[in-house]
Amino acid sequence: MRNLVLEGIKSLKAEVPTIESQHRDWTHFSRRLGEIISRFHGLDAARAESIKDAMRDLVISADDQLREWVGKHYADLPSLPAAKGPIMVHHVPRYLAMRRGNGEEKIALVVFDGLAVDQWIQIRETVINRSQRLMFDENACFAWLPTLTSVSRQALFSGLRPREFADSIESTSQEPAQWTRFWQDHGLRANEVVYRKSIKRTDDLPALEAALTNPAVKVAGLVVDTVDEIIHGAVLGKRGIAAQIASWCESGFVDRLLSMLLDNGFHVYLTADHGNVEAVGIGRANQGVASELRGERVRTYRSEALIAETAAANPGTFRLDVAGLPSNFMALFARGRGAFVPKDDQVVVHGGVSVEELIVPFVKVSYVN
């Protein structure tokens, strides 16, 4: 297995997309990278240690290329047509509305908060081993920058670009209303739309099923928070997270949730609002009174003077003008795999521009015919 992973690392290293690549090259690459990272975390500690440097080289060179590519092409993504599949997370509701127009009358969108592609691969493998009935048609799409829940998940449920929900960009409290409003604009009534979050374990499924068996319900938006919770408590890096995800999957939660939705007549789509990445502390950047929203990989500011001053004082940072953000919402990112935590602390975080944070799974779930 170690040699297979090492071969995979070498072949991917030669295939990292460049600044001239298409967005599809990046989504395709992210899925192959996710497979390799997932297999790497599945190795025993000694074998993983022996190829750790090669793995690190690969992800760092991929992230460097992606940052360059984002600087040149990211601004074009929001307005691309999404008929064949969402290119960014805010395309998802529109794509699902098209699927309903094509006869998929009942649709469930399952959002795994914070799920990186490599963790999706791990969940998929476990679910397939546990249930031979489920199959997955897999793609990937881009999260919104900065890759924070209040920015990217809100875009995902509202179908809007962040500047269109500037008033609520620092909280997710508007999501239920935004999700309902989107579907009302597409001809549904409020009682035909369900939004539920904090779905974490098998105990949560009976109440959810009771809500979804209501014959009026046509569309459901569901947030599964478990992975995000595991990440926020992680002390052993992504390897430790992989072990915790494995035991969560063994509880049968994921296959039971997906089967329950399919059994109730829903067409099921699964995605995430952002991924997560292992990072190393570069020290805490000056928060400033106007920076209300903390991300361990990004700091956001309301004042040009404050962000300029903080950027100048912190050489391990860079600014990126993200088209589609409110004009008074400015992002300062940690460079490379840095994070705004005490120097040299090892953490698993999100908010920044890396392949693992920015490109998320988008999957159609169905039963094997």
**pLDDT band with cut points at 50, 70 and 90 for residue 287:** low
pLDDT at 359 over 90: yes
To 5 degrees, how large is the angle CA 136–CA 156–CA 129?
20
C-alpha count within 13 angstroms, C-beta hemisphere, residue 259: 15
Name the residue with higher pLDDT: 264 or 286. Answer: 264
In the block, residue with structure tokens 């500011």: 301
**223 & 93 share domain:** yes
Report the pLDDT value the prediction gives residue 235, as an integer from 0 to 100.
Answer: 77
**317 & 213 share domain:** no
**pLDDT band with cut points at 50, 70 and 90 for residue 294:** low
Residue range 299-323: average pLDDT? 92
Mean pLDDT is lowest, of 22-36, 87-101, 122-136, for 122-136
pLDDT at 151 over 90: yes
Look at residues 74, 104, 132 and tell me which one is the last residue of a structural domain: 74
Report the pLDDT value the prediction gives residue 236, as an integer from 0 to 100.
Answer: 81
CATH number, domain containing residue 239: 3.40.720.10
Report the pLDDT value the prediction gives residue 261, as an integer from 0 to 100.
Answer: 98
Report the pLDDT value the prediction gives residue 234, as an integer from 0 to 100.
Answer: 77
Look at residues 30, 50, 74 and tell me which one is the last residue of a structural domain: 74
pLDDT at 190 over 70: yes
Report the pLDDT value the prediction gives residue 290, as an integer from 0 to 100.
Answer: 41
Report the pLDDT value the prediction gives residue 132, as an integer from 0 to 100.
Answer: 86
pLDDT tens digits along 167-177: 999 999 999 99
Residue range 114-137: average pLDDT? 94
Report the pLDDT value the prediction gives residue 286, as an integer from 0 to 100.
Answer: 66
Please, what's the b/e burial string for 95-134 (b: 16 or more CB within 10 A of its CB; e: otherwise)? bbbeebeeeeebbbbbbbbbbbbbbbbbbbbbbeeebeeb
Task: Locate 106 and state its tokens.
Answer: 């009942």
**168 & 306 share domain:** no
**pLDDT band with cut points at 50, 70 and 90 for residue 289:** very low
C-alpha count within 13 angstroms, C-beta hemisphere, residue 81: 3
**pLDDT band with cut points at 50, 70 and 90 for residue 285:** confident
pLDDT at 253 over 50: yes
Task: Locate 142 and state its tokens.
Answer: 């881009």
Residue 152 per-residue DSSP state: I
pLDDT at 248 over 70: yes
pLDDT at 291 over 60: no
Report the pLDDT value the prediction gives residue 284, as an integer from 0 to 100.
Answer: 83
119 contacts 38 by C-beta, under 8 angstroms: yes
**302 & 332 share domain:** yes
**196 & 181 share domain:** yes
Mean pLDDT is lowest, of 28-42, 133-147, 221-235, 347-361, for 221-235
Indicate yes or no: pTM above 0.85.
Answer: yes
pLDDT at 218 over 80: yes
Beta-sheet strands, E only, within the chain:
107-112, 134-142, 193-199, 219-224, 267-271, 277-281, 298-301, 317-319, 330-334, 338-339, 346-349, 359-367
> In the chain, pLDDT over 70 holds for what percent of residues?
97
To the nearest whole number, what is the mean pLDDT of the chain? Answer: 94
Residue range 68-72: average pLDDT? 97
**313 & 285 share domain:** yes
**331 & 212 share domain:** no
**340 & 286 share domain:** yes
**89 & 41 share domain:** no
Which residues constitute the domain of residue 295? 278-349
Q: How many separate domains does the chain show?
A: 3
